[in-house]
């Protein structure tokens, strides 16, 4: 058991004793973005996100869950230079990716941790930028959730609100002051030993468990059917054009859902020529909701927007499981929050899974 | 040397100035291009051109003939900027009495020979490539000139302004502050300029006509109006920056 000040000590141990740079949710000037954490003042400890579909407000409080960024911002940057080549292809040079500082991810959520697992399985070593950044992660510190926001549904996809593996230290804030710590690895144990906290009493352990369970309950209600049935129904309705047109009727194809999704990984390449007449091949984030997604030389295989929205939903719930054995949606709700049209993925899934357009809305 | 002509129709010169400055600032391009025609400099050359960059929309039949002439004498013709591509701010007059409009703006309205609906360049001649923007970004023109010099053209990636917002790590002003923003339905290319200054986009790069039909447009307008956008904001912006789209909205 500890307090928020022990988070500061934890940061110091990671930085000074383990010589790691810390990356995580950084509070600065009224917003929470992704960046380097140098001390407790950088953490979003005194703010709380209030969300609805298509709405986000950062308020005073102590339960920060999400902003529009995720660990993807660090692992798969929005712009990655892949190649420089001369006109005759003689001088080809890839940017150096070996120089990554050893890093600890700090304060990511259980759903974020699952999202990294998804990305690991999808991308792994295929992308040198991702691979070198992933390799640089030497420690993972997770903040478990004792109260979800309105759009969180980790319980429904089994990615949160607690974490059982794949981390070093996890902490949960029982209230504004008190913090409950646990470890998930040898390294984590060593770190907690160094922190030298007093053991949690039975009352505190129970309080932690109750809050985790109530969060699990609240985040498990998103779907009206069990996941297997949801998946079967989604697939069997894949060709019901009218249904998908209806479900996607508010969508304008802006792509915000893709960009904020911690598991969306699609990149597109852009070639430019610099002053030295070198060709520069740059990868940048794209997503299936954008028009360019289905554009290929000589044509377009998904010109109609509803087919791209359908792909988004089916990919997360049906195709990722076929690709990597994990549901691609980690239930973070970011796509719901940051959709300017306020489209609710949960509602879309329910509408299709129940087979009636108005069902589940 | 490649022969390039800068042709100006009805417009503010912003795009051509961006293009000229970008060209003059890039040494590598100066050794590859020769500017043989520039409307505002008055240089008249009746030769053939490799590349013609056209700024502005078409306002009368004289401009139509001029455009056709340049098309006939050029290998490649590029529409530069929202006016040339979609009609631009001149489209604000569509639906008004043209004689009234002339009187409001000019001291000698009888000297003004324009028809009531400005036309995008592609209504008159075949366009090989276009760059949107009001004005276009110099970088986009440089990118075009560099690629054209080695025998190609850039790829058009018609995405939303939101794409640029998110890639830059900006926090959405609409979702997080309730500021009306037209980014979701507007073509990318500006680098999310307005949202980076905590302002909503007003759509100067033009409507994303690829995904946005009248039905989607109405859904979006409803949404933005609910945020308290001044009633006329979207209509005005669409009339000014989305000539083609205005044709959809007009019938409402
Ligand atoms: S954020 Fe919303 S409107 Fe934009 S593409 Fe995604 S679902 Fe459609
Ligand atoms: S699909 Fe939506 S809820 Fe699921 S992981 Fe992506 S952003 Fe989160
Ligand atoms: S989705 Fe679950 S794990 Fe993620 S922030 Fe919300 S409550 Fe926490
Ligand atoms: S601020 Fe505007 S352009 Fe940026 S993401 Fe939000 S709606 Fe899109
Ligand atoms: S954000 Fe919108 S209004 Fe502002 S420069 Fe870009 S396209 Fe134009």
C-alpha distances out from residue A146 to A217, A291, B112, Å: 11, 39, 70
Q: Is the same domain home to B96 and B29? A: yes
In a domain, B154, yes or no: no
From B91, B120, B149, the end of a domain falls on: B149
Identify which has the larger pLDDT, A16 or A356: A16
Convert the pLDDT of each residue in B194-234 to its tens digit.
999 999 999 999 888 888 888 898 899 889 888 887 767 77
Residue with structure tokens 């420690």? A139
A68 touching B (Cβ < 8 Å): yes
Cα-trace Rg, chain A = 22
Inter-residue contact B134 to B85 (CB < 8 Å): no
Domain-by-domain residue ranges, chain A?
Answer: 2-71+98-219, 227-271+285-353
Q: Is the same domain home to B143 and B197? A: no
CB spacing of A255 vs B171 below 8 angstroms: no
Convert the pLDDT of each residue in A238-275 to its tens digit.
999 999 999 999 999 999 999 999 999 999 998 889 88
CB spacing of A340 vs B166 below 8 angstroms: no
Q: Who's near B22: CB < 8 A, 6+ residues apart?
A: B138, B139, B141, B142, B145
Distance of CA B62 to the CA centre of its chain: 21
Q: Is the same domain home to B136 and B37? A: yes
Max CA distance (Å), chain B: 55
In a domain, B116, yes or no: yes
Is the pLDDT at B252 greater than 50, yes or no?
Answer: no
Dihedral, CA of residue B71, residue B72, residue B73 and residue B77, to nearest 10: 20
In a domain, B156, yes or no: no
C-alpha distances out from residue A132 to A76, A84, A224, Å: 10, 19, 41
Q: Is the same domain home to B55 and B100? A: yes
CB spacing of B172 vs A305 below 8 angstroms: no
Q: Is the same domain home to B56 and B172? A: no
Is the pLDDT at B248 greater than 60, yes or no?
Answer: no
Neighbour tally for B55: CB within 10 Å: 30
Q: Mapping DSSP to helix (H, G, I), strand (E, B) and coil, where does residue B59 land?
A: coil
Nearest-5° Cα angle at A300, A295 to A306: 95
If pLDDT is split at 50, 70 and 90, which confidence band does B244 have?
A: low
pTM of the full structure: 0.94
From B123, B149, B175, the end of a domain falls on: B149
Convert the pLDDT of each residue in A292-339 to its tens digit.
998 888 889 999 999 999 999 999 999 999 999 999 999 999 999 999
Helices (H), B27-178: 27-30, 61-72, 81-86, 98-105, 138-149, 161-167, 173-177
Convert the pLDDT of each residue in B161-181 to its tens digit.
999 999 999 999 999 999 999
Q: Who's near B208: CB < 8 A, 6+ residues apart?
A: A253, A291, B158, B160, B185, B186, B187
C-alpha distances out from residue A223 to A112, A131, A304, A331, B90, Å: 21, 35, 27, 11, 50
DSSP line for A254-297: --HHHHH-TT---EEEEEEE-TTS-EEEEEEE--TTSGGGGEET
In a domain, B155, yes or no: no
The one-character DSSP state at B216 is H
Q: Is the same domain home to B51 and B78? A: yes
Interface-testing mutation among B162, B167, B229, with chain A (most A C-beta atoms within 10 A): B162
| Dihedral pair phi/psi, residue B145, rounded to 5° | -65, -40
What is the model's pLDDT at position B225? 87
Q: Is the same domain home to B141 and B244? A: no
Convert the pLDDT of each residue in A7-48 to its tens digit.
999 999 999 999 999 999 999 999 999 999 999 999 999 999
CB distance A254 to ligand 1 below 6 Å: yes
Instruction: Extract the tokens encoding A12.
Output: 């110091």
The one-character DSSP state at A319 is I
Atom 6, ligand 4: residue with shortest CA distance: B172
Q: How far is the C-alpha of B7 from the C-alpha of B168, rounded, in Å?
A: 34
Q: Supply the range of the domain harboring residue B18.
A: 2-149
C-alpha distances out from residue A87 to A270, A273, B148, Å: 16, 10, 14
A271 touching B (Cβ < 8 Å): yes
What is the model's pLDDT at position B70? 95
A220 touching B (Cβ < 8 Å): no
Q: Is the same domain home to B141 and B231? A: no
Is the pLDDT at A61 greater than 90, yes or no?
Answer: yes
CB spacing of B146 vs A305 below 8 angstroms: no
Q: Is the same domain home to B98 and B223? A: no
Could you give the number of structural domains in chain B?
2
In a domain, B119, yes or no: yes
Q: Is the same domain home to B171 and B102? A: no
Inter-residue contact B50 to B76 (CB < 8 Å): yes
Q: Is the same domain home to B107 and B210? A: no
Q: For A61, what's the count of Cα atoms within 13 Å in the CB-facing half-sphere? A: 11
Which of B26, B178, B212 is opposite residue A252, by nearest beta carbon?
B212
In a domain, B10, yes or no: yes
Q: Is the same domain home to B86 and B209? A: no
Convert the pLDDT of each residue in B100-111 to its tens digit.
999 998 999 999
Is the pLDDT at B182 greater than 80, yes or no?
Answer: yes
Q: What CATH number does the domain containing B126 carry?
A: 3.40.50.700
Instruction: Extract the tokens encoding A256.
Output: 């915000």
């Amino acid at each position: 058991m500890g307090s928020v000040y022990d988070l500061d000590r934890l940061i110091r141990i990671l930085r000074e004793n383990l010589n790691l740079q810390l990356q995580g949710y950084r509070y600065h000037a009224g917003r929470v973005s992704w960046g380097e954490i140098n001390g407790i003042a950088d953490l979003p400890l005194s703010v709380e996100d209030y969300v609805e579909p298509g709405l986000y407000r950062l308020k005073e409080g102590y339960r920060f869950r999400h902003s529009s960024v995720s660990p993807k911002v660090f692992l798969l940057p929005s712009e990655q230079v892949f190649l420089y080549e001369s006109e005759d292809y003689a001088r080809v040079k890839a940017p150096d990716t070996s120089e990554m500082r050893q890093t600890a991810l700090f304060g990511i959520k259980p759903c974020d941790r699952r999202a990294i697992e998804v990305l690991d399985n999808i991308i792994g070593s295929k992308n040198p930028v991702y691979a070198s950044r992933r390799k640089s992660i030497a420690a993972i510190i997770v903040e478990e959730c004792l109260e979800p926001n309105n759009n969180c549904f980790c319980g429904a996809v089994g990615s949160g609100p607690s974490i059982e593996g794949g981390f070093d230290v996890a902490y949960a804030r029982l209230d504004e002051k008190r913090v409950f710590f646990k470890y998930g690895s040898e390294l984590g144990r060593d770190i907690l030993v160094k922190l030298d906290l007093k053991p949690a009493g039975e009352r505190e352990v129970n309080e932690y468990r109750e809050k985790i369970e109530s969060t699990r309950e609240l985040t498990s209600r998103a779907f009206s059917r069990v996941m297997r049935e949801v998946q079967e129904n989604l697939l069997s309705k894949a060709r019901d054009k009218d249904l998908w047109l209806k479900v996607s009727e508010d969508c304008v194809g802006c792509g915000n859902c893709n960009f904020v999704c911690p598991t969306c990984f699609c990149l597109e390449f852009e070639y430019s020529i610099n002053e030295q007449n070198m060709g520069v091949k740059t990868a940048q984030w794209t997503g299936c909701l954008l028009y360019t997604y289905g554009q290929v030389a000589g044509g377009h295989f998904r010109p109609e927007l509803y087919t791209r929205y359908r792909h988004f939903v089916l990919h997360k719930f049906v195709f990722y499981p076929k690709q990597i054995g994990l549901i691609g949606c980690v239930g973070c709700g970011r796509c719901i929050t940051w959709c300017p049209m306020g489209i609710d993925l949960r509602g879309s899934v329910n509408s299709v899974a129940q087979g009636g357009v108005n069902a589940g809305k | 040397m490649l022969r390039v002509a800068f042709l100006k129709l009805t417009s503010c010169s912003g795009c051509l100035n961006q293009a000229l400055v970008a060209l003059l600032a890039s040494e590598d391009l100066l050794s590859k291009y020769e500017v043989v025609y520039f409307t505002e400099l008055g240089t008249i050359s009746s030769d053939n051109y490799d590349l013609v960059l056209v700024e502005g929309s078409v306002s009368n039949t004289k401009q139509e003939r001029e455009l056709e002439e340049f098309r006939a004498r050029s290998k490649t013709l590029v529409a530069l900027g929202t006016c040339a591509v979609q009609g631009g701010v001149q489209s604000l007059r569509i639906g008004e009495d043209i004689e009234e409009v002339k009187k409001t703006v000019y001291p000698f309205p009888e000297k003004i020979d324009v028809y009531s609906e400005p036309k995008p360049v592609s209504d008159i001649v075949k366009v090989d490539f276009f760059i949107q923007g009001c004005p276009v970004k110099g970088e986009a023109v440089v990118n075009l000139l560099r690629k054209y010099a080695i025998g190609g053209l850039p790829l058009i990636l018609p995405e939303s302004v939101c794409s640029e917002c998110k890639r830059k790590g900006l926090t959405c002003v609409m979702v997080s502050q309730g500021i009306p923003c037209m980014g979701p339905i507007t073509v990318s290319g500006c680098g999310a300029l307005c949202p980076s200054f905590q302002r909503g986009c007003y759509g100067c790069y033009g409507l994303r006509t690829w995904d946005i039909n009248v039905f989607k447009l109405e859904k979006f307008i409803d949404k933005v109006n609910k945020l308290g956008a001044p009633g006329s904001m979207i209509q005005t912006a669409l009339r000014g920056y989305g000539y083609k789209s205005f044709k959809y909205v007009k019938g409402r």
